[in-house]
Amino acid sequence: MTFKWTDENVQKLKKMLANGKSAREIAEELGGISRNSVIGKAHRLGISAQNEKKKAKTASPSKEVKKKAESNVKPIKQVIHISQATPRSSENSCQWPIGDPGTSEFKFCYEPAKPGRPYCNEHCNIAYRKIK
């Protein structure tokens, strides 16, 4: 079976890219086409919507935060102590670290924090229970 970039297939490609499908998934869905061809076609269409790029984009703004967190994070009690000592009142989002520092999964909770606290309701409960 020879694959052709018909209008229909191009529409499918666009739709799946928009839905965050990977090139491999799209290639499987369209059938008879390689992952590289999907990437190439997307590139020619001016769609650079690769999943990995999206992830990298969202991860990069927190890089500095991440570095700081890495040096602070080791014993969890210490982190809580530091956060209490220097509440960042300008940032009203939860500073609770989620995931392993140094991995791409690592991030902060970012739920709205309780007034005067560095964490959201849920994480306040955890943090202030642990510290006792």
> What whole-number distance in Å separates Cα of residue 96 and Cα of residue 36?
40
Site for Zn ion in 90-129 (CB under 5 A): 94, 96, 109, 111, 120, 123
Residue 66 makes contact with Zn ion by CB under 5 A: no
User: Are the C-beta atoms of 3 and 27 separated by less than 8 Å?
Assistant: no
- If the CB atoms of residues 49 and 109 are measured against Zn ion, the closer one turns out to be 109
**Is residue 25 at the binding interface for Zn ion, with CB under 5 A as the rule?**
no
Burial 36-49 (b: 16+ CB within 10 A, else e): ebbbebbeeeeeeb
Question: In whole angstroms, how close is the CB of 124 to Zn ion at the nearest point?
Answer: 8
For binding to Zn ion (CB under 5 A), which residues are involved? 94, 96, 109, 111, 120, 123
